[in-house]
Amino acid sequence: MKKELISICEIEENFDLKKYNTYKLNSTCDYFAKPKNVEEFKKLIEYIIKNNIKYFILGNGSNIILPVHYDGVVIYTRGLNNYEIRENYVYAECGVMINALAIKVTDMGYAGLDFATGIPGTIGGSVYMNAGCFGSDVSNILISAEVFDGEKVIELSNEELKYGYRTSMLKEHKEYTILSCKLKIEKGNKEELKALVTERTNKRIASQDLSHPSAGSVFRNPEGTSAGKLIDDLGLKGYSVNDAMVSFKHANFIINNKDANQEDVVKLIEEIKSKVKDEYDIDLILEQEIIK
């Protein structure tokens, strides 16, 4: 298999993923593939699907809980980083960082992507989970996304992606890999946008734990309340399983104090869920994804 993969794109074997997930969890994989353009990406996926090889698409690793070892091919998308800014939309490949793109278009005086300035993920990961903040999300601006199913490229409309709160139909259709998307933008007031982004950045710095490795919010907010408040009210800040700990700054953040692995994070998640269920009879829903 290695020989075939190498003929398609750059491949590394027995790869250490600690630097490739924002939790900095200890994790390795059999193969790490780094396609540098859409053609290589499609060829690789076509080969992998045809040969029934286990694989996983990795963006910036900021919404996932990686296993100690992934026994398959991890396909890293950051090499697919072309974008074009047009008068009323942006075209971006899946490996473009959404926060960098948001800063770029906002600086140019376009509104639409401003909600995403602090989100440390790729376009692919953000389109997949409908990333959002400050009252907006990807579903508000997505015109269409190009996906690849191993044989053909399909253009999916916003409606077809069936967006909901931090979710899309792509979660149930793992056969679709996002290649690129088009996002709506519109001319706004440069100074006002600048002030808005500064205000939001300050809010993030004040409320989120940005000085420890994490993958952002662990749970979706239940109807009418916030997961962070429920966890905080139970006195769980600082509660830990080995090096995985509920952040003192933001109770809906789990941080890695040094050497946490998937087992530690998942055990902590289960304990939080069970305490919230016992106390409030609320089933917290995981926003992050556990990779097996």
Ligand X SMILES: Cc1cc2nc3c(=O)[nH]c(=O)nc-3n(C[C@H](O)[C@H](O)[C@H](O)COP(=O)(O)OP(=O)(O)OC[C@H]3O[C@@H](n4cnc5c(N)ncnc54)[C@H](O)[C@@H]3O)c2cc1C
**Choices 84-92, 126-134, 241-249, 267-275; region in contact with ligand X by CB under 6 A:** 126-134
43/190 with CB nearer ligand X: 43
Q: Contact between 272 and ligand X (CB under 6 A)?
A: no
Q: Contact between 178 and ligand X (CB under 6 A)?
A: yes
CA–CA dist 170, 167 (Å, integer): 8
Q: How many residues does the chain have?
A: 292
The residue type of 203 is K
16/279 with CB nearer ligand X: 16
94/142 with CB nearer ligand X: 94
Task: Compute the least distance from the CB of residue 170 to ligand X, in Å.
Answer: 6
- Could you say which of 67, 112, 121, 228 contacts ligand X (CB under 6 A)? 121
Task: Compute the least distance from the CB of residue 279 to ligand X, in Å.
Answer: 26
- Could you say which of 26, 62, 168, 262 contacts ligand X (CB under 6 A)? 62
Task: Compute the least distance from the CB of residue 87 to ligand X, in Å.
Answer: 26
Q: Is 206 exposed, middle or buried (0-12, 13-18, 19+ CB in 10 A)?
A: exposed
Q: Contact between 125 and ligand X (CB under 6 A)?
A: yes
Q: Contact between 122 and ligand X (CB under 6 A)?
A: yes
- Could you say which of 27, 81, 126, 247 contacts ligand X (CB under 6 A)? 126
How many other CB atoms sit within 10 Å of the CB of residue 276? 21
Q: Is 215 exposed, middle or buried (0-12, 13-18, 19+ CB in 10 A)?
A: buried
* Beta-sheet strands, E only, within the chain: 10-16, 28-34, 55-58, 64-65, 69-76, 83-85, 89-93, 110-111, 132-133, 136-137, 142-148, 153-157, 177-184, 186-187, 240-241, 244-246, 254-256, 289-290
Q: Contact between 252 and ligand X (CB under 6 A)?
A: no
Q: Contact between 63 and ligand X (CB under 6 A)?
A: yes
CA–CA dist 127, 180 (Å, integer): 9
Count residues contacting ligand X (CB under 6 A)? Answer: 32
Q: Which of 93, 167, 173 is nearest to 130 (CA)?
A: 167
Residue pair 137/220 in contact by the 8 Å Cβ criterion: no
Residues 179-238 that bind ligand X (CB under 6 A): 208, 210, 214-216
Judged by the rule CB under 6 A, the positions of this chain that interact with ligand X are: 22, 56-64, 77, 94, 119-122, 124-126, 128-129, 131-133, 177-178, 208, 210, 214-216, 289
